[in-house]
């Protein structure tokens, strides 16, 4: 899995970088050293879908996605099997139902 080493932040006052300019002239934020976390945030997976959505369609579209949970990475399809909801009328309903199964809280990094 590739790791992001830094993020370049560009503001409205910062001119676009030309081919001659170097990246060092742009402000950047260094991301710390640490263990990479496997899986995608649940919010990112939810953002790829449109709402409302049936559980079976979510499983078809994103069921094989690996999501981050407090207990480690988990397959979204497996998490959805633990829900009683078959129809999610909104993104928040979906997130709440999945979090009821996988838990809420910080993701373990070690």
CA angle 19, 22, 27 (to 5 degrees): 125
Evaluate if residue 3 carries a pLDDT over 70.
no
Q: What is the pLDDT of residues 31-90, one digit of tens each?
A: 667 777 788 999 999 999 999 999 999 999 999 999 999 998 999 999 999 999 999 999
At a CB cut-off of 8 Å and minimum separation 6, what does 14 contact? 26, 27
Q: What pLDDT does residue 37 have?
A: 77
The DSSP output letter for 65 is -
Q: What pLDDT does residue 109 have?
A: 72
The torsion region of residue 77 among left (phi > 0), alpha (psi -120 to 50) and beta comes to: alpha
> How far, in Å, CA of 107 to CA of 41, rounded?
10
**Domain residue spans in the chain?**
42-102
């Amino acid at each position: 899995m590739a790791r992001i080493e830094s993020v370049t932040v560009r503001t409205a006052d910062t001119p676009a970088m030309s081919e001659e300019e170097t990246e060092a002239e742009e402000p950047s934020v260094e991301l710390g050293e640490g263990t990479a976390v496997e899986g995608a945030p649940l919010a990112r997976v939810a953002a790829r879908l449109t709402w409302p959505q049936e559980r079976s369609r979510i499983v078809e579209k994103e069921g094989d996605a690996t999501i981050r949970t407090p207990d480690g990475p988990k397959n979204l399809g497996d998490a959805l099997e633990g829900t009683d909801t078959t129809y999610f009328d909104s993104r928040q309903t979906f997130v709440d139902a999945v979090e009821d199964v996988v838990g809420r809280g910080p993701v373990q990094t070690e």
